Amino acid sequence: RKEVEQDPGPFNVPEGATVAFNCTYSNSASQSFFWYRQDCRKEPKLLMSVYSSGNEDGRFTAQLNIASQYISLLIRDSKLSDSATYLCVVLRGGNQGGKLIFGQGTELSVKP
C-alpha cells in the first residue's frame, strides 16, 4: 500500500467549477500535512499547510481528519491558472529533519 494515496487524475473542469481532491495516508506517525502545487517540470511549491481544524486561503480550503487519516483540498471558482498537479504531502520523522512523503499527484486542467 502506498504511504500517501491520491485520487488518480486527470481532472478536467471548466473555469468557475468547484473541484475536490482527496488523499489518504497510511502511517499514523505522520506529523504535518501539506498540499503542494507542481507545474510541469518545475519544483513543488507549498500551496497550504493542513490543520485538523480546517483552514482556508481564498478559494482554497483544506481539511484534515486524523482519525480516518484523510486529507482534502477544495478549490472554488477555478481559474485557468489553477491548472497544475496537486501533491498531497505528509511529514514523517524524528527530531533531525524528518522527511516529506509525496503522493503521486492529481493533475488538474481548467478549460475556458
Q: Which amino acid is at 62?
A: A
The half-sphere exposure of 23 on its side-chain side, counting CA atoms within 13 A, is 29
29-88 binders of other proteins (CB under 8 A): 31-32, 34, 38, 41-46, 49, 87
Among 9, 17, 22, 102, binds other proteins (CB under 8 A): 102
**Binding of residue 1 to other proteins (CB under 8 A):** no
CB of 93 to other proteins, least distance (A): 6
Binding mask 13-32 for other proteins (x = CB under 8 A): ------------------xx
β-bridge partners, 91: 32, 100
Q: How far is residue 94's CA from residue 72's CA, in Å, rounded to a whole number?
A: 25
Q: Is 9 in the site for other proteins (CB under 8 A)?
A: no
Amino acid letter, residue 29: A
Distance between CA atoms of residues 88 and 42, nearest Å = 16
Point out which residues bind other proteins (CB under 8 A): 31-32, 34, 38, 41-46, 49, 87, 91, 93-105
